């Protein structure tokens, strides 16, 4: 791990930084108010994707995310009916957006009419459920105030850096959070293939930085990922924060696994709908609404839609970049056994003492 001068960041310095951020959270309403001022002085390092990363709060970020953290703490106004879909990048975000949107809006947009005019036939899931990070941070400060309730929003920001108005309430006024995780090995491989397709486009953005950085080799990218030097990384710490929040407040934070979604899409969809306070009625079950939503939101269906084969979405990215094979265990086609063992070891060491495990939920010990 390197600083802006290229020198390694010591464990002691990292701990001091994290302690300072944690201390600030307890003292001020907006602990990140001066983030815009201190951004240029934050430790930087090359990362994967190949953009300039800045270290803050124990995680690595691109400038766009840091600006959002600062703005959202000052401006974002949560509603009790909000549902925030949280995830580390490339862990099932697109699928979760499609499932949650379709379940929440099934009365207005019946999935059985999908062939006629369902929004998913005309829009990417990323257009239907927008990222908080992509809000107009230089506007009037009313981040997504125009979105009608109940709002579905999304984020890749770590739990500890979310607005306190979301995480610091126990009365439900901050809304609910759904988090989806995925095995880090498959996450990295998905990350790699995605950024092969999108890096050239994203590097044109000033808030990403690193336009002169070349795409690393697979092995170089793997080393950076293992060091935690990826956007919002390290993944295992990102996931652990949401896991611990779900253990503390299961009614407020629903923890999902990508592997479980694949194993049992109907059961996972029922869990998602119930958490959003719109459970399926017996009449809907009998009419096959769950089945219809699962089919509408399946990878095969979404991948084959015209809008996802030829259209573009946020930041000018092509929709087809968000769809590949979506399987479990694809890492074995790209990583050597030694690479897999190394990443597994890093994750196991980082999670030692916690109850979090990656993979299907049958492995849980809680």
* Tally of CA atoms within 13 A in the half-sphere of 310 that contains its CB: 4
> Would you tell me the crossing angle of helices 93-104 and 289-296 to the nearest 10 degrees?
140
Region for 227 from its dihedrals, namely left if φ exceeds 0, alpha if ψ lies in -120 to 50, beta otherwise: alpha
- Give the C-alpha separation, 337 to 228, whole Å: 20
156 is catalytic: yes
Please give the Cα distance from 241 to 259 (Å, whole number).
19
Q: In the chain, at which residue ranges do the beta strands (DSSP E only) sit?
A: 44-46, 52-56, 59-61, 83-87, 152-155, 176-181, 253-257
**SS3 string of 139-166?**
CCCCCCCCCCCCCEEEECCCHHHCCHHH
Instruction: Find the distance separating the first CA and the last CA of the chain, reported in whole Å.
Output: 33
Tell me which residue of 35, 47, 39 sits closest to 2, measured CA to CA: 47
What is the H or E stretch that residue 15 is in?
helix 11-27
Which is the catalytic residue, given 32, 73, 121, 156? 156
Report the distance separating Cα 173 and Cα 180, nearest Å.
Answer: 22
Q: Report phi then psi at 361, rounded to 5.
A: -70, -15
Q: Which positions are catalytic?
A: 156
């Amino acid at each position: 791990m390197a600083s802006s001068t290229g020198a390694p960041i010591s464990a002691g310095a990292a701990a001091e930084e994290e302690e300072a951020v944690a201390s600030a959270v307890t003292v001020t309403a907006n602990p990140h108010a001066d983030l815009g001022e201190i951004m240029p002085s934050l430790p930087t390092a090359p990362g994967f994707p190949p953009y300039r990363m800045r270290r803050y709060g124990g995680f690595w970020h691109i400038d766009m995310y840091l600006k959002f953290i600062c703005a959202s703490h000052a401006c974002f106004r949560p509603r009790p009916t909000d549902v925030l879909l949280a995830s580390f990048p490339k862990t099932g975000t697109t699928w979760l957006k499609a499932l949650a949107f379709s379940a929440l809006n099934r009365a207005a947009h019946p999935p059985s009419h999908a062939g006629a005019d369902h929004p998913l036939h005309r829009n990417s899931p990323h257009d239907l459920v927008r990222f908080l990070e992509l809000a107009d941070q230089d506007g009037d400060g009313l981040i997504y105030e125009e979105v009608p309730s109940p709002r579905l929003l999304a984020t890749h920001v770590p739990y500890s850096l979310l607005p306190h108005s979301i995480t610091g309430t126990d009365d439900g006024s901050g809304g609910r959070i759904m988090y989806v995780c995925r095995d880090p090995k498959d996450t990295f491989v998905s990350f790699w293939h995605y950024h092969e397709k999108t890096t050239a486009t994203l590097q044109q953005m000033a808030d990403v930085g690193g336009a002169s950085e070349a795409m690393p080799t697979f092995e170089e990218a793997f080393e950076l990922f293992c060091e935690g030097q990826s956007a919002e990384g390290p993944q295992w710490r990102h996931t652990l924060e949401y896991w611990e929040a779900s253990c503390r407040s299961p009614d407020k934070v629903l923890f999902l696994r990508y592997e479980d979604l694949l194993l049992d899409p109907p059961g996972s969809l029922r869990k998602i709908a119930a958490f959003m306070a719109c459970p399926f009625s017996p009449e809907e079950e009998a009419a096959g609404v769950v089945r219809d939503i699962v089919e509408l939101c399946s990878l095969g269906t979404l991948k084959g839609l015209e809008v996802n084969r030829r259209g573009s979405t946020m930041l000018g990215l092509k929709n087809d970049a968000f769809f590949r094979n979506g399987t479990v265990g694809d890492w074995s086609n790209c990583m050597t056994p030694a690479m897999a063992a190394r990443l597994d070891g890093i994750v196991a060491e980082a999670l030692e003492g916690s109850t979090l495990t990656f993979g299907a939920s049958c492995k849980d010990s809680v």
